[in-house]
Amino acid sequence: MKRSLVAAILGLAAVCSSYGQGHVLISNYVASPYSQVFWAPGTPGVGNQAVLGSQGVQLTLWYGEGVITDPSLLIQGPTFGILTSGGSEAYNPGAGHGPGGYYLAPDQTLATWTAGDTFTFQIRASGTVAQGVIDSANSRSPLWQENAAIAGSALPANANTFSAGLAVFVPEPSTFALAGLGSAALLIFRRRK
**Residue 61 identity (one-letter amino acid):** L
Q: 3 and 97 in contact (C-beta within 8 Å)? A: no
> Count of alpha carbons within 13 Å of 3, Cβ hemisphere only?
0
In a domain, residue 106? The reply is: yes
**Residue 175 identity (one-letter amino acid):** T
φ, ψ at 104 (rounded to 5°): -140, 100
Which pLDDT belongs to residue 15? 36
In a domain, residue 11? The reply is: no
DSSP secondary structure code for residue 49 in this structure: P
Tally of domains within the chain = 1
In a domain, residue 81? The reply is: yes
DSSP assignments along 108-156, one per residue: EEETT--TT--EEEEEEEE-EETTEE--TTT-BPPPEEE-GGG-SSPSS
Whether residue 33 is preceded by a cis peptide bond, meaning omega within 30 degrees of 0, is yes
For residues 97 and 77, give the distance between their C-alpha atoms in angstroms, rounded to a whole number: 27
Domain that holds residue 157: 19-192
pLDDT tens digit string along 145-191? 987 555 555 666 677 778 889 999 998 765 555 556 677 767 776 66
In a domain, residue 3? The reply is: no
pLDDT tens digit string along 36-70? 999 999 888 888 999 998 898 999 999 998 899 99
In a domain, residue 13? The reply is: no
CB atoms within 10 A of CB 119: 22
Q: Three-state DSSP class for 157? A: coil
Query: Is the model's pLDDT at 17 over the cut of 60?
Result: no
In a domain, residue 178? The reply is: yes
Which residue in 96, 28, 86 sits closest to 59, CA to CA? 28
Q: Three-state DSSP class for 64? A: strand
CB atoms within 10 A of CB 57: 23
In a domain, residue 61? The reply is: yes
In a domain, residue 10? The reply is: no
> What pTM, to 2 d.p., does this model score?
0.76
